[in-house]
Amino acid sequence: MSSPQPPAHGPSERLMRAGTRRRRIVVWRHGQTTHNAAGIWQGQLDTDLSDLGREQARAAAQALTALEPARIIASDLKRAATTAQALGEASGLTPSYDERLREIHVGEWQGLTAGDVAERYPELQDALARGEDLARGVTGETLAQVVERAGALADEVAESMADGETVVLATHGVTGRALASYLVGIDQSVAWMALAGLHNCHWVEIVEHRFGWRIERWNVGA
């Protein structure tokens, strides 16, 4: 009788044998913009940080240096890119930029106030509030489309990380929550209904454990 063959090594083998030098992914939302302060839907409008947002980014950057990040990857939209640059200046790192970390595109809602959207699109807003994943602003993206693009980047990052490495992903509110949920395997409809959105310049710390990734801290601020 032949001896049993050892199990094949799959892509999750590294996670299964993870030791004390755990890898960490930080999903970080950008600082405040004037559109945030005014309650205007931004989506992929390329708005910049307000004065308060710049202060938030500097304070958060000082706090995040304690995690000793090795890499910073940011959305190429100015509000996230500028936020990432604050951490780059504090840590001596040069951020890289990837459009897959952009905020969800909200179609016809971009540039409208929350009041305008509530008045003009009540049925769509109600459907989204019930957890249905419809295209935002009629012509924008669904959450599933955001997960597809941002999740692909997250997979690439996780695959390339060295033992004990920390990577910071500077992104946006909806994309950040979707990305964090994707990394730990939380169903997106559950995450949408159950997890509070990330505040400006707050972050999620996701740490590798023996059997995968786990959220250790949620909505952390400076």
Active site residues: 30, 103
| Rounded distance between C-alpha atoms, residue 44 and residue 77, angstroms | 7
17: phi then psi, degrees, rounded to nearest 5: -110, 15
CB 117 within 8 A of CB 41: yes
Any idea which residue has 């809602």 for tokens? 109
Q: What angle do CA 138, 182, 58 make, to 5 degrees?
A: 85
DSSP designation for 21: S
| Rounded distance between C-alpha atoms, residue 152 and residue 158, angstroms | 10
